[in-house]
């Protein structure tokens, strides 16, 4: 079968969030081709999109992705021997082992039914709040994003963000941050709810399904509306963050920069295994010295929308227009 290499690669990359890095579920590190679709499932995320290569089977994801990424042909010939998928280009070919029997338990994922249109800002909302979810598995509900009919929000007991919008869901639910974060780059436009899954779909027909988790989420209204004394952060923080993140990015999922306020000065510092960067700016600050940690991308997102914040006792609130962010201030 003749296939468009770039189009196939685009579809495989789109379902990649459902791949497992460690195969706890059989064939969860594979692209499974069945029923004219390619699907992935790692027990937390399921993905699927129309993709008919003329065969049924499970193919190891990494070598197939790597091969398609390194080949230069616009069109490839793809065939199946029953045990291998053969990919032919101009004067070259490769064979990738295939399992004809499908054992991936994709059937355990409930099928979406009624699709509801989401607010166009849903992906942006998730992209803002997911940085505030906790990484501490001992407080499981805090590792999730809270999706309600009227907002998405997250909190790790040190910081929180709430983004009001029409999510399209009928009932509030918790979704693991590491699952729902994938909607940010996939252009999702619709949502469907089933008993234990939340499903998202884009205009290309890609469906991403994430588990709805059981648990209660604390009411954050009193904190999010606490107000305080107005303060204006200095301009140019995005450029400073860009430099600080050269080093803070060493910390992987704990990537944060430190913002310190004291005596009309603001300092921004990023540290990592390979070094550190610090930049100072003038700011009107006459209170006791304070500091907070924040994800660099979130700080950039906030300060490109506003530089105004409100300081209450031990707390800093930023109203980003479409969302609010609150963080604890520690003394320094």
Sequential pLDDT tens for the chain (332 residues):
899 999 999 999 999 999 998 878 899 999 999 999 999 999 999 999 999 999 999 999 999 999 999 999 999 999 999 899 999 999 899 999 999 999 999 999 999 989 999 999 999 999 999 999 998 888 899 999 999 999 999 999 999 999 999 999 999 999 999 999 999 989 999 999 999 999 999 999 999 999 999 888 989 888 888 778 888 888 889 999 999 999 999 998 889 999 999 888 999 999 999 999 999 999 988 888 889 999 999 999 888 888 888 888 788 898 888 899 999 877 65
Query: Global pTM?
Result: 0.89
What is 87-148 written as a DSSP string? EEETTEEEEEEEESS----GGGSPPP-S-EEPPTTHHHHHHHHGGGS---TTSGGGGEEEE-
Separation of alpha carbons 319 and 92, rounded Å: 57
What single DSSP character describes residue 226?
A: -
- CA nearest neighbour of 58 among 86, 26, 89, 24: 26
Separation of alpha carbons 123 and 20, rounded Å: 23
């Amino acid at each position: 079968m003749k296939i468009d290499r770039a189009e196939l690669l685009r579809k495989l990359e789109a379902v990649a969030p459902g791949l497992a890095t460690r195969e706890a579920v059989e064939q969860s590190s594979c692209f499974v081709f069945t029923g004219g679709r390619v699907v992935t499932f790692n027990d937390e995320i399921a993905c699927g999109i129309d993709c008919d290569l003329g065969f049924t089977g499970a193919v190891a994801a990494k070598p197939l992705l790597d091969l398609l990424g390194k080949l230069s042909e616009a069109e490839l010939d793809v065939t199946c021997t029953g045990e291998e998928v053969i990919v032919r280009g101009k004067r070259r070919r490769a064979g990738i082992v295939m399992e004809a029997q499908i054992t991936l338990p994709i059937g355990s994922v409930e099928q979406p039914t009624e699709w509801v249109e989401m607010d166009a800002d849903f992906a942006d909302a998730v992209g803002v709040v997911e940085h505030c979810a906790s990484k501490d598995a001992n407080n499981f509900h805090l590792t999730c994003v809270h999706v309600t009919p009227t907002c998405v929000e997250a909190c790790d007991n040190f910081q929180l963000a709430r983004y009001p919008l029409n999510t399209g869901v009928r009932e509030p639910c918790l979704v693991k941050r590491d699952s729902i974060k994938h909607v940010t780059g996939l252009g999702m436009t619709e949502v469907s709810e089933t008993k234990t899954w939340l499903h998202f779909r884009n205009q290309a027909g890609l469906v991403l399904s994430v588990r709805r988790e059981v648990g209660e989420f604390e009411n954050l209204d009193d904190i999010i509306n606490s107000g305080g004394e107005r303060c204006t952060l200095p301009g140019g923080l995005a450029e400073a963050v860009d430099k600080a993140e050269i080093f803070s990015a060493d910390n992987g999922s704990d990537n944060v920069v430190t913002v310190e306020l004291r005596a009309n000065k603001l300092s921004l510092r990023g540290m990592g295994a390979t070094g550190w960067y610090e930049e100072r700016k003038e700011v009107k600050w006459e209170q006791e010295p304070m500091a907070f940690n924040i994800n660099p991308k979130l700080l950039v997102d906030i300060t490109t929308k506003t530089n105004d914040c409100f300081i209450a006792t031990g707390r800093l609130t930023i109203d980003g227009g479409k969302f609010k962010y609150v963080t604890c201030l520690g003394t320094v």
